[in-house]
Structure 1
Amino acid sequence: MSDAFTTRLIDLSTGSSETVHDLTASCEDFLREAARGRDGLLNVFVPHATAGIAVIETGAGSDDDLLATLHTLLPADDRWQHRHGSHGHGRDHVLPGLVAPHATLPVIGGRLALGTWQSVCLVDTNKDNPNRQVRLSFLG
């Protein structure tokens, strides 16, 4: 494999409650090693059917607002055809249709080119699976 493409899988524990988990520091750590000052693209991908990747502001309430909005759009009730797992778990399988399981971000000079308040986050509403993986891939 060429230096132009590097990938790494990171393991996370998201616990037993819905969460927006900030991945920005992990992305930056990966790019320090993988990009080595080069321009390119960072792809962030979650290989799970019940989680997504969002680029949002965190810490000022936006992460809680996102979870509240998802609760409104995707209530944890009996309307879902997908019925295994905890009550309302079918909603978790619809989540990636609204919060995509990937994001591709510009890398300039080896650093993420995010806006001032943007963070890269894992969005996980699935309380049944606290163990998650995220694949980071740099192409440059």
Structure 2
Amino acid sequence: MRQSQIRLSISTHGQALYEVTQDVARWLAETRIEIGLLTLFCRHTSASLLINENAAPAVQRDLLQWLSASVPEGSQYEHDSEGPDDMPAHIRTMLTGVSINVPVAGGRMELGTWQGIYLVEHRRTPHQREIVAHVLGE
């Protein structure tokens, strides 16, 4: 059994979904691990990870719209240390999650045809985000 780990750095430019599928796939290929389990972990409380459709950009827009409508910004939150998008970002992260697991076979992620991996930036301002990728296998 072998394992490998890396920290991937992603520059964001405000609220959006940033696809990281190819970045993860390139690193995974370098590990030469053929079969195993890949874990991705976002090291932040106001950004998250998800797997969703990567073919239609409308899906990304609809997801962001839904998150904004479900967890609106406003003065209803006690925690607003970094502005009105601070606490909503934490709640959106809680809803979407900070880690995902993907099976690996043939040295590749076993994602479906239309699936992509996204870092979701929940803050309005640019940030430098980190994802820890860890693969365990042979």
TM-score class, shorter: over 0.9
The 5 A counterparts of 1:8-23 are: 8-15=6-13, 17-23=14-20
Pick from 114, 129, 132: which aligns with 1:135?
Answer: 132
TM-score, normalised relative to structure 2: 0.92
Residue segments in structure 2 that go unaligned for 5+ positions in a row: none
The 5 A counterparts of 1:55-134 are: 55-60=51-56, 61-134=58-131
Residue 54 (1) aligns with residue 35 (2):
no
Give the letter for the 1:45 counterpart: F
- Alpha carbons of 1:59 and 1:89: their partners in 2 closer, same or farther (altered >3 Å)? farther
SS at match of 1:138: strand
Q: Provide runs of 4+ in structure 1 moved above 3 Å.
A: none
Taking only the aligned residue pairs, the percentage that are identical comes to: 27
CA contact (8 A) 2:4 2:136 kept: yes
Q: How many residue pairs end up in the alignment?
A: 136
TM-score, normalised relative to structure 1: 0.91
Superposed CA RMSD in Å reads 1.3
Judge which range, 54-63 or 124-133, deviates more.
Answer: 124-133
SS at match of 1:9: strand
